[in-house]
Amino acid sequence: MRRSGRFRNCWRRPARFHNRLRNKKSLPPSTHARWHAKLRIVDQLRQIIPITDVVVEDVKAMTKKGKKRWNKNFLPLEQCKTWFYAEIMDRDLKLHLKQGFETKGLRDELRLKNTSQKSKKTFSSHCVDAFVLVRSVVGGALTERGLYYWTPIRLHRRQLHRFQPKKGGIRAQCGRTRSMGLTRGTLVRHAKRGLSYVGGSSKGNVSLHNIVSGKRITQTARLLDLTILTIIRWRAQFLPAPQGGVSLRMRIYSREP
């Protein structure tokens, strides 16, 4: 789309040598977004449980003498890390920093293994390092190997139109965060489909999505058949430790405390 726009619109962007951010400290948007996602998880957890301490495995970027390009690539990591630590302390939370070798030592002390297969939704794949880090500060024993799995509800933000036109060269409008007057992500109870959340809309009806998998259930739900409950931003499910015949238990967290 950008390439075609360059040829379609005959305009020239002037050179901007005097950029406002030149020679100033700035956080790249992509790196800032990754660290800010961690901060949002902390804020979400604080609405559910009282958090007093935050333990972070500190990452140090090794700079090399005379390697300006190498050092510049790691600069955003160091800057965003410092920004994240400052945000944690601004929330009146006590920050603890640990090194990578310390995490390994704590893991070996408890004889816990960290599985490299991150696609598996298990305690050993995602929670081992977090557990040993927290235990080094507040103590405690490993009594639960279940896993809370959180996924943000994906919203398609508004764009001017779809990339590919329909018949006749007409491009349809695409993307928004409202459907028939309802905020997308609204948790509802349907007379037939049960508990679900609102997605897109089409022909005067709304689509409903599964609150666990996020898959679309139907596209023809009428507003009269919906009981509005609250607005959610995350899909959450509790995965217990693998045992024979154990079913999944599910928890839904709303935006409201």
Q: How many residues does the chain have?
A: 257
Q: Say if residue 165 is in the same domain as residue 147.
A: no
As for how many domains the chain has, the answer is: 2
Candidates 83, 32, 56, 238; CA nearest to 146 is 238
Residue 16's pLDDT band, with cuts at 50, 70 and 90, is low
| Torsion of Cα atoms, 208 then 211 then 216 then 222, to 10° | -10
Residues 146 and 157 grouped into a single domain: no
On whether residue 33 sits in a domain, the answer given is yes
251: Cα separation from own chain's centroid = 17
C-alpha torsion angle, residues 128, 129, 134, 136 (rounded to 10): 110
| DSSP-derived secondary structure letter, 174 | B
Do 33 and 148 lie in one domain? The reply is yes
Among 43-47, 61-65, 81-85, 86-90, name the one with the lowest average pLDDT: 61-65
Considering the domain architecture, whether residues 35 and 97 belong to the same structural domain is answered as yes
Decide if pLDDT at 70 tops 60. yes
- The reply to whether 121 and 236 lie within a common domain is no
Look at residue 54 and give its three-state secondary structure: strand
CA distances from 132 to 49, 127, 139, 148, 241 (A): 19, 9, 9, 17, 18
Q: Rounded CA gap, 13 and 100, in Å? A: 47
pLDDT at 247 over 70: no
Q: Are residues 107 and 191 in the same domain?
A: no
Q: Which residues form the domain of 230?
A: 153-257
Specify whether 159 is located in the same domain as 174.
yes
Residues 138 and 160 in one domain: no
Instruction: Taking residues 93-105, report their average pLDDT.
Output: 92
Per-residue pLDDT band at 248 (split at 50, 70, 90)? very low
pTM equals 0.68
Q: Which residue has the tokens 């040829």?
A: 7
Q: Is the pLDDT of residue 257 over 60?
A: no
What is the rounded distance in angstroms from the CA atom of residue 152 to the CA atom of residue 63? 35
Which of 125, 152, 179 corresponds to the end of one domain?
152
Rounded to an integer, the average pLDDT of 45-72 is 81
pLDDT greater than 60 at residue 211: yes
Same domain assignment for residues 37 and 120: yes
Same domain (yes/no): 142, 205: no
**Which of 126-130's residues contact partners 24+ apart within 8 Å by CB, and which partners?**
129/57, 129/103
Residue 23, in any domain of the structure: no
Identify the DSSP state of 137.
Answer: H
Sequence-separated (6 or more) residues with CB below 8 Å from residue 191? 225
**162 assigned to some structural domain:** yes
Average pLDDT over residues 82-86: 89
Query: Between the ranges 75-89, 170-184, 225-239, where is the mean pLDDT highest?
Result: 225-239
d(CA 121, CA 146): 10
Residue 24: its pLDDT value, please? 62
Region of poorest pLDDT, from 137-141, 182-186, 189-193, 222-226: 137-141
- Strands (DSSP E) along 69-202, which ranges? 94-98, 147-152, 178-179, 182-183, 186-190, 194-202
Confidence of residue 177 (pLDDT cuts 50, 70, 90): confident
